[in-house]
Structure 1
Amino acid sequence: MLQLVEFFSRNRNFIFFVLLEVLSFWLITQSNSYWGAKYFNTSNYYVAKTLTLSNSIREYMHLKDINEQLAHENLALNEQVARLKELNPVQAPAAYTPDSVFANRFEFIVSKVIMTETNRTNNYLTIDKGSADGIKPGMGVISATGVVGKVRSCSEHYSVVTSILHSQFMVSSRLVRSGEIGPARWQSKDPETISLMDISRYKKVLKGDSAVTSNYNSVFPPGIMVGTVKSTKIRPDQTFYDIDLKVATDFRSLSYVYVVQNRLQTEQDQLLKPIEEERQ
């Protein structure tokens, strides 16, 4: 308390000067309409700027909650889109009636990415959901923009995902315009480019065409973006295009992903197992 009294005592002249300045300014704005209007407009401008800054800071502090809400909204939308695509398949005969169980076979689990790689030959991601959340090895993983990869291994609360940017990862893809189907595989060191193979040179392929997951996938729902045609090249001695796709998923800014569970995958794999053993 004594220190406060000493402070005012030492600075009494300066404090008195400031009070007089404030009083003078108030008298000017009250007695002169021009300066009163000027003060009113200026004060409103700075109050508005302060409120805008305050709201921006508040919104930034709540971005995590907003992102989580959006991720769960996307989860519901993904389930609806997958179901609608199965109920109304592209290029299906008019007489084809989809099975309701088959159409509802995909469900999604939202998860947050806690680690991702893009600069290796074989890249992986780590997500914060594991076996306790119903995740198993072999499940597909997608983002809001496209294919991400496939679950490689799980612990109780975490999972490692083989990225689409992995030399051994392939996904059956379909060009939207031509309907041609071929495997997409990462064969470069560019995290934004993958190769689409086995597309006949006698089919028309245009730059910018979309490549999506085909109906031949048991891991991914059909119609999930893989990438867009970046460039095409034909060598004289080959019957297929060399096609580069711009990857749909931006792995450098990936935050939330959706793990895809195909309820009928076990049944499908068991049915195909004898055929695979016979081929071996």
Structure 2
Amino acid sequence: MSQLFGILYRIRHFFMFLFLQIACFYLISKNSVYWDVTFFNTTNTAVAKSLKISQNVRKFMNLGKVNDQLAAENKKLREELSKSHELVALKEIGYKPDSMMAGRFNFLVAKVISSTENLTDNYITLDKGTKDGIKPGMGVICPQGIVGQVMSCNENFSRVSSILHSNFQVSSEILGKKLRKEEVTALGIGKWGGTNPRIMELTTVDRFKPVSKGDSVVTSMQNSIFPPKIMIGRISKISASPSEAFFDINVRLSTDFSSLVYVYVVNNKLIDKQSQVEAKPVN
């Protein structure tokens, strides 16, 4: 304690100088209108900047909560959009589905905790597992498009085989002005080529179909794990030789795997019943 008092005694002149400086500024501001206004404006500016910094810090701290809320809201919108696509697509062929068929897909929000994109077979790890209702075989999408399929999971985590995998295939449909005008459907199989993480190959598309560069490629109605009309990407290249029956098509993927944060795990509530029917032997 005596050492502390000794230090304060040795710097007593500094405290005296500081006190006199504050007193001088006070007297100047009170006896001069110009300095009073200047001091007032300077103080207000400093306070305003401090409040702005404090507000920005609070916003940054709340970003995680805001993102969680947005992901939950998007989940609800996804379910409504999926149901709408089912109804519209089936009405076009004159079939009226029941409510169970139209609303068979629901979604679970999950967060990506690790992923790869430069391997031959790429995987993604999610922070949700069986206790959250996730099962192997479920599809996975994100706000930009399709992501992959759940391969395995435990109580707390799930491993997803992304579309950047040598064994992944997805039934796809091309949407374009010429196709709509001629009322033609163009279906194909999407498969990653194994090199560019932004390009997928689209095969088995009839080369007499009126498809064009820039047309959208989405999931088709012939998917059991993905809802219809989920974005896959856009056609970036089309070619075909006269001797071939199908186009060679490159699709630029809409999903950027380097920036995945939130995904939606797709649950087809009728998948078990569909599998039972498909597994029955044909007499």
TM-score between both structures, scaled by the size of structure 1? 0.90
The 8 Å contact of residues 187 and 220 in structure 2, kept in 1 or not, is answered as yes
Alignment correspondent of 1:181: 187
1:70-105 per-position Cα deviation (integer Å, ceiling 9, x unaligned): 221111111111112222227713x42121110111
Alignment correspondent of 2:182: none
- 1:256 has 2:258 as partner: no
The 2-side partners of 1:204 and 1:31 are apart by 85
The 2-side partners of 1:187 and 1:260 are apart by 25
Q: Structure 1 residues 47, 232: CA separation in 2 closer, same or farther (over 3 Å shift)?
A: farther
1:157-205 per-position Cα deviation (integer Å, ceiling 9, x unaligned): 2211110110110111111213421111110322222112222333333
The 8 Å contact of residues 87 and 100 in structure 1, kept in 2 or not, is answered as no
Alignment correspondent of 2:66: 66
- 1:38 has 2:38 as partner: yes
Amino acid at match of 1:25: F
Amino acid at match of 1:199: V
Determine what percentage of the aligned residue pairs are the same residue: 45
- Which portions of structure 1, spanning 4 or more consecutive aligned residues, are displaced by more than 6 angstroms? none
Amino acid at match of 1:82: S
Alignment correspondent of 2:136: 137
The 2-side partners of 1:227 and 1:207 are apart by 11
CA displacement at 1:60 relative to structure 2? 1.7
Alignment correspondent of 1:210: 216
Alignment correspondent of 1:118: 117
Alignment correspondent of 1:100: 99
**Which SS does the other structure have where 1:47 is aligned?**
helix
**Which SS does the other structure have where 1:110 is aligned?**
strand
TM-score between both structures, scaled by the size of structure 2? 0.89
CA displacement at 1:53 relative to structure 2? 1.7
- Most deviating of 159-168 and 79-88: 79-88
The 8 Å contact of residues 142 and 149 in structure 1, kept in 2 or not, is answered as yes
The 1-side partners of 2:35 and 2:212 are apart by 66
**Which SS does the other structure have where 2:164 is aligned?**
strand
The 8 Å contact of residues 183 and 196 in structure 1, kept in 2 or not, is answered as yes
- 1:18 has 2:53 as partner: no
Q: Structure 1 residues 217, 34: CA separation in 2 closer, same or farther (over 3 Å shift)?
A: same
- 1:53 has 2:57 as partner: no
**Which SS does the other structure have where 1:24 is aligned?**
helix
1:22-42 per-position Cα deviation (integer Å, ceiling 9, x unaligned): 222222222223333333333
Amino acid at match of 2:118: N
The 2-side partners of 1:3 and 1:107 are apart by 71
Amino acid at match of 1:97: K
Q: Structure 1 residues 31, 175: CA separation in 2 closer, same or farther (over 3 Å shift)?
A: farther
- Most deviating of 47-56 and 145-154: 47-56
Matches within 5 A, 1:192-207: 192-207=198-213
Q: How many residues align?
A: 276
Alignment correspondent of 1:157: 156
Amino acid at match of 1:63: L
Unaligned runs of 5+ in 1: none
The 1-side partners of 2:207 and 2:47 are apart by 65
The 1-side partners of 2:36 and 2:241 are apart by 78
